[in-house]
Amino acid sequence: MPEESLLSGRMKPPDEPLDASGLRFAIVAARFNHEITERLVEGALECFTASAASDVPVEWVPGSFELPLAARALAETRGVDAVVALGAIIRGGTPHFDFVATETASGLMSAMLETGIPISFGVLTTDDIEQAEARAGGEHGNKGWDAAATAIEMARLVRRLEKPDEDAGTL
């Protein structure tokens, strides 16, 4: 994991190095606030490359509100082990921010639970552009990288849990 990715400075790193080999991923990204989202996509792709994933497609949607439908479609039709959803919702002067942020998060969670495929939440919800820039390769790392790392970790976990292990005993 590169130094600039701090996983918010609070998350304990995984016990084992990230290994995406043999797994399939897809990214869905919002074009709204594209200056930020493109940097998140770059971070996610860098993480996948560093972790031995290859040929990760990127699908673009108009805005973050459209991410849940596209993420669900990717999970259901592309044979992926996980999807990374990336976007940037920046607070403005109206309640629109609250509606979009809430429904985007809820929609992505619903899509993940309904498909059984991990969908990593890489949607920034910030008060201003400066906070978004700080989290898209700035002083707070690249949350695109973090979202890809989460997708790899969750894809490995789900794959492991789907295969019974006689030696594992009971939980």
pLDDT of residue 4: 42
pLDDT of residue 12: 78
Q: Look at residue 144 and tell me if it is in a domain.
A: yes
Q: Is the pLDDT of residue 166 over 70?
A: no
Strand partners, 86: 29, 122
Q: Look at residue 171 and tell me if it is in a domain.
A: no
pLDDT of residue 110: 98
Give this prediction's pTM: 0.90
Parent domain of 139: 24-161
Q: Which of 11, 96, 128, 129 is catalytic?
A: 96
Average pLDDT over residues 129-154: 96
Q: Look at residue 118 and tell me if it is in a domain.
A: yes
Tokens 């701090």 label which residue? 6
State the DSSP code for 62: S
Return all residues near 133 (Cβ < 8 A) that are at least 6 apart.
36
**Residue 96 annotated in active site:** yes
Lowest-confidence region among 55-69, 75-89, 118-132, 151-165? 151-165
Q: Look at residue 16 and tell me if it is in a domain.
A: no
Q: Look at residue 126 and tell me if it is in a domain.
A: yes
Confidence bin at 3 (pLDDT 50/70/90):
very low
Question: What CATH number has the domain bearing residue 138?
Answer: 3.40.50.960
Lowest-confidence region among 36-45, 64-73, 91-100? 91-100
Specify the number of domains making up the chain: 1
Please answer whether residues 136 and 144 qualify as being in contact, where contact means their C-beta atoms are separated by less than 8 angstroms. yes
Provide the percentage of residues in the chain whose pLDDT is more than 70: 90
Strand partners, 120: 84
Q: Residue 128 and residue 28: Cα distance in Å, rounded? A: 23
Pairing of strands 25-30, 58-61: parallel
Q: What is the pLDDT of residues 46-90, one digit of tens each?
A: 999 999 999 999 999 999 999 999 999 999 999 999 999 999 999
Instruction: Tell which wins on pLDDT, 9 or 6.
Output: 9
Q: Look at residue 85 and tell me if it is in a domain.
A: yes
Q: Look at residue 8 and tell me if it is in a domain.
A: no
Please answer whether residues 137 and 88 qualify as being in contact, where contact means their C-beta atoms are separated by less than 8 angstroms. no
Please answer whether residues 41 and 141 qualify as being in contact, where contact means their C-beta atoms are separated by less than 8 angstroms. no
Q: Is the pLDDT of residue 10 over 80?
A: no
Q: Is the pLDDT of residue 156 over 50?
A: yes
Strand partners, 169: none
